[in-house]
Amino acid sequence: MVRAEAVHKRFGPVEVLKGISLEVAAGEVMCVIGPSGSGKSTFLRCVNHLEKIDGGRLSVDGALVGYEERGGRLHELPEREVARRRSEIGMVFQHFHLFPHLTVLDNVCSGPVVVKRLARREVEEAARELLEKVGLAEKADAYPRQLSGGQQQRVAIARALAMEPKLMLFDEPTSALDPELVGDVLAVMRSLAEEGMTMLVVTHEIGFAREVGDQLVFMDGGVVVESGRPREVIASPSEERTRAFLEAVL
Amino acid sequence: MPVRHPWRWVASAVVLVLLAMLAHSFATNSNYGFGIIGGLLFTRPVLDGVLLTLGLTGAAMGIGIVLGVVLAVMRLSPNPLVSWVSWAYIWFFRGTPVLVQLFLWYQLSYLFPHLSLGIPFGPRFVTFNTNSVIAAVTAAILALGLNEGAYMAEIVRAGILSVDAGQSEAASSLGMRRLQVMRRVVLPQAMRVIVPPTGNETISMLKTTSLASTIAVIELFGAVQQIAARTYQVIPDLLVACAWYLAITTVMTIGQFYVERHFARGAQRSLPLTPFQKLRGNLAVWRIRVAGSSR
Ligand SMILES: Nc1ncnc2c1ncn2[C@@H]1O[C@H](COP(=O)(O)OP(=O)(O)OP(=O)(O)O)[C@@H](O)[C@H]1O
Ligand SMILES: [Mg+2]
């Protein structure tokens, strides 16, 4: 589903991604861990073209991200096409970024209504079902600021799911939450994984990575230091940097 | 211990003395002509002037707001040419006096006696005859509206920039395109920042329309000037204009409160109370107190 080959990204003179290669198969959950500033968010943002890559190849579901190959040369995709491809990828942010001027239900409906141009009536039922699924059916008419962080994050997941994405990106979805609210969000993500959603999850929740993840990637300084099956990497890391990081977070 | 505010008492005394002096001057100086003012307020020419003033304000603000939104979005466009065009527009219209622009548009209506809408160098769909009384009003609306657009653009831009970048990213990640992100997510949130200065601009525009009297548009100020020229009662006439400007401004201020309240949805956990709701709340508290003390 996601294939990265030597992906490079720089901000001005600073090279943030120094050749990231990884592959996520359809239905797989890949967790990405690593110290602050190692480029995890940047990589995730590259996957749905919120950032442009400067080198290497990055493709989602067989199609290059943000570019099109014609006659052996890369052409930048028009805005319309970039947006269409983004609509197939759900993204959940550390700070939720719900639309504060819309009710919870309108937040969840916003994607299908605006992007797919479906009538509000048509999508409302599905939206309510999604809210049910994340355990917030009774909050449909509340505004985001009236919810706790954990509730907001679950609405954000429902909002992304409303577009029926084939890939979900999570950027530290529980890092901004109080410890007692983390569990609800992880439970929603776990059930999503069990339904077979392809997920790329940046997280500091080692327990979640071990139990739900199919692959674990440890990033540091813009490179993939180590990757493998989560249990093996966590139990017996082969790299010293991984060992030090795991010791610090566990 | 009750808190004492001795300076409030001093200030109140000063204000009272000043008010007394003003009242004394009103009562004893017949040049104000208060008797005449009441009679003039609702005469035909004055009312026509008021209507034209309101029309000019509405039309100019309408053009200004639409143009301001377009220019602000253009200014923030990733396309450098589009952004530059907006910058140049704002640079020109903000950098020249509105009175000069007013005369310029008025003169242009002589330069181009026919104004037509159509394909450049191609067929014309509509043609306006510009050289008439309508020309002066049109010139005034254009001048005030186009000038206002430059100011509104900066207000709208500030509003857009006040919205957290995460909002556009979240909307983009759902697959919304740039203009959809603007219209559905960013602008509605920017309104909270945009509305108060826009209220300010509207009130300012109400008064700026009086400049149109210089190109023979008989709006409120033009109307009272004409009356004054006939009757030589200059001060009562000017006071009539002041009374109308003040009355309209007051109504606008009240309207602004409700518009602001509308766009505060979701920004706070609860909406601010309207003055009526506050009054009702105070009355309820007062009634409870009265009921409590009578028991
Ligand atoms: N827009 C930007 N402009 C310049 N530098 C940036 C930008 N975005 C990120 N960086 C830099 O890129 C590096 C990687 O950032 P990134 O957000 O990807 O790290 P991260 O691994 O997600 O860290 P964290 O765990 O703190 O979220 C950091 O040093 C950051 O300062
Ligand atoms: Mg990050």
Cα B239 to Cα B37: distance, rounded to the nearest angstrom: 7
Query: Mean pLDDT score of chain A, rounded to an integer?
Result: 93
Does residue B130 carry a pLDDT above 60?
A: no
Does residue B6 carry a pLDDT above 80?
A: yes
DSSP-derived pairing of the beta strands A29-33 and A198-202? parallel
DSSP-derived pairing of the beta strands A73-76 and A67-70? antiparallel
Instruction: Output the CA A36–ligand 2 centroid distance in Å.
Output: 7
Would you call B169 an interface residue with chain A, using a CB distance cutoff of 8 Å?
yes
Query: What's the rounded mean pLDDT across residues B129-134?
Result: 60
CA-nearest residue for atom 5, ligand 1, is A11
- How far is the CA of A228 from the CAs of A40, A43, A165, A204, in angstroms? 17, 18, 26, 17
Domain ranges of chain B: 35-114+129-266
- How far is the CA of B51 from the CAs of A16, A235, B15, in angstroms? 63, 81, 36
Does residue B196 carry a pLDDT above 60?
A: yes
Would you call B78 an interface residue with chain A, using a CB distance cutoff of 8 Å?
no
- B268 chain-A contacts, CB cut-off 8 A: 145
Does residue B269 carry a pLDDT above 60?
A: no
Query: What's the rounded mean pLDDT across residues A50-65?
Result: 92
Q: Which of A101, A156, A163 sits opposite B266 (nearest CB)?
A: A101
- pLDDT at B271 (0 to 100): 64
What are the beta bridge partners of residue A89? A167
- pLDDT at A187 (0 to 100): 94
Total number of residues shown for chain A: 250
List the CATH code of the domain at B35-114+129-266: 1.10.3720.10
CB A202 within 8 A of CB A172: yes
Cα B292 to Cα B295: distance, rounded to the nearest angstrom: 6
Cα A105 to Cα A140: distance, rounded to the nearest angstrom: 5
Predicted TM-score of the model (pTM) = 0.82
- pLDDT at A69 (0 to 100): 85
DSSP letter for each residue of A22-69: EEE-TT-EEEEE--TTSSHHHHHHHHTTSS--SEEEEEETTEESSEEE
Q: What is the DSSP letter of B184?
A: I
Among the listed residues B192, B183, B184, B185, the one whose alpha carbon sits nearest the alpha carbon of residue B167 = B185
Query: What's the rounded mean pLDDT across residues A119-123?
Result: 91
- pLDDT at B23 (0 to 100): 86
CB B104 within 8 A of CB B62: no
Cα B221 to Cα B52: distance, rounded to the nearest angstrom: 10
Residue B278 token pair: 């506050």
| Interval A21-50: pLDDT, tens | 999 999 999 999 999 999 999 999 999 999
Query: Mean pLDDT score of chain B, rounded to an integer?
Result: 87
Q: What percent of chain B clears pLDDT 70, i.e. is strictly above it?
A: 85
| Interval A189-231: pLDDT, tens | 999 999 999 999 999 999 999 999 999 999 999 999 999 999 9
What are the beta bridge partners of residue A226? A218
The whole-angstrom distance between A144's CA and the closest CA on chain B is 7
Q: Which of A153-167, B18-32, B118-132 has the highest mean pLDDT?
A: A153-167
- pLDDT at B266 (0 to 100): 64
Contact A87 B174 (CB under 8 A): yes
Does residue B295 carry a pLDDT above 60?
A: no
Contact A160 B176 (CB under 8 A): no
Here the ipTM equals 0.92
Among the listed residues A174, A182, A154, the one whose alpha carbon sits nearest the alpha carbon of residue A98 = A154
For A65, how many CA atoms within 13 A lie in the half-sphere containing its CB? Answer: 28
Does residue A124 carry a pLDDT above 90?
A: yes
The whole-angstrom distance between A113's CA and the closest CA on chain B is 10
Contact A101 B170 (CB under 8 A): no
Cα A65 to Cα A47: distance, rounded to the nearest angstrom: 7
Lowest mean pLDDT among A2-16, A152-166, B109-123, B242-256: B109-123
pLDDT grade for B102, boundaries at 50, 70 and 90: very high
pLDDT grade for B265, boundaries at 50, 70 and 90: confident
Beta strands (DSSP E) in chain B are 114-118, 124-129
- pLDDT at B127 (0 to 100): 66
**Whose structure tokens read 């994340």?**
A134
pLDDT grade for B101, boundaries at 50, 70 and 90: very high
The sheet carrying A215-220 orders its strands as A89-92, A167-171, A198-202, A29-33, A215-220, A223-228
The 3-class secondary structure across A146-206, one letter per residue, is HCCHHHHHHHHHHHHHCCCCCEEEEECCCCCCCHHHHHHHHHHHHHHHHCCCEEEEECCCH
